[in-house]
Amino acid sequence: MSTRRESGQALVEYVIILPVLVMLIFGTIQAAFIYSAKNSLNYATFQGARIGALNGASYEGIRRGLIRGLTPLFVHHNTDADKERAFEEAGAEVDNYAVVTRISPSLNNFSAYGEWDSDESDYAIPNDNLMYRPGTGIQDANLLKIRVQYCLKLVVPIVDRLLSAASSFNDSDIEGSFSEASRDAVADYADICQAGRRGIVITSEALVRMQSPPLRDSDACGADMECL
C-alpha cells in the first residue's frame, strides 16, 4: 500500500514539475536566441552608423549598413545562394520590422548650422576645418548617433506568446507600464511588431564621427527614419 502511495505521490509531483521544467528549457533556448540577435543588432547598428557617416547621415546609407550587419543572422548554409537569400531576408526585416531614429545630428542642428548644398539639393552641415570653427555646437552636430529598434521574431513555442504579450502590455497606457523616460527611448510596440508578429523589441545605439557633411535628408525623415 505504501509503495502505491509513494508511486502516486511521485506521479503528482512529476505532473506539477514537468510544465515548469519545460518552460525553463524553452525559456533558456529563447533567451539564447535573443542574446545572439542582440549581439548581431549591436554589430549591425554600428555598421549602419559607420556607412551612414560616409554617406551624409542619410537613411539609405544607414539602411545598407544595417542589412549588411544583420545578414549573418539569417545565413544557414555556406553557399552563395543561401547568402543571397539571407541578404534579401535581412533587407525585408529592416524595411518591415525595424525603426531607425537619427538622434544626432538633430533637426535643430540643421537649423543652426545647415547650409544649402546645390550638388546634393539639400541642407548640409559643414564637415571641414571643424577645429577652426568657433564654438562646440558644430562639432557635436558632426557626430552621428542612431538608435535602431528591431522586432525580433520569437520562434520557441509557448514562450513566444508569453513574451510578445508582455511586450505589448508594457507599451499600453496603464499603471505599471514603462516610465516616461523609457517610453521616450522605445517606439510604439505595434508600430514595430506589426502584422501580428509575435516578437520582442530589442534596441541598440551607435555613435560615430561624421566622415562627410551630414545631410538633412528631409525625404526620409518621418517616412523611413525618425529624425529628432
Query: Rounded to whole angstroms, how far apart are CA atoms 80 and 75?
Result: 10
The backbone torsions φ and ψ at residue 191, rounded to the nearest 5 degrees and listed phi first, read -70, -30
- For 30, residues 6+ apart whose C-beta sits below 8 A from its C-beta are 154, 155, 156, 159, 160, 163
Give the lowest-confidence range in 120-124, 142-146, 209-213.
Answer: 120-124
Averaged over 20-46, what is the pLDDT? 91
pLDDT for residue 182 is more than 50? no
Determine how many CB atoms are found less than 10 A away from the CB of residue 75.
15
Direct distance between the N- and C-terminal alpha carbons of the chain, in angstroms, rounded to an integer = 74
pTM of the model: 0.82
Give the lowest-confidence range in 4-8, 23-27, 164-168.
Answer: 4-8
Q: Which three cell numbers stand for residue 74?
A: 539569417
**Cell 505521490, located at residue:** 9
pLDDT for residue 171 is more than 60? no
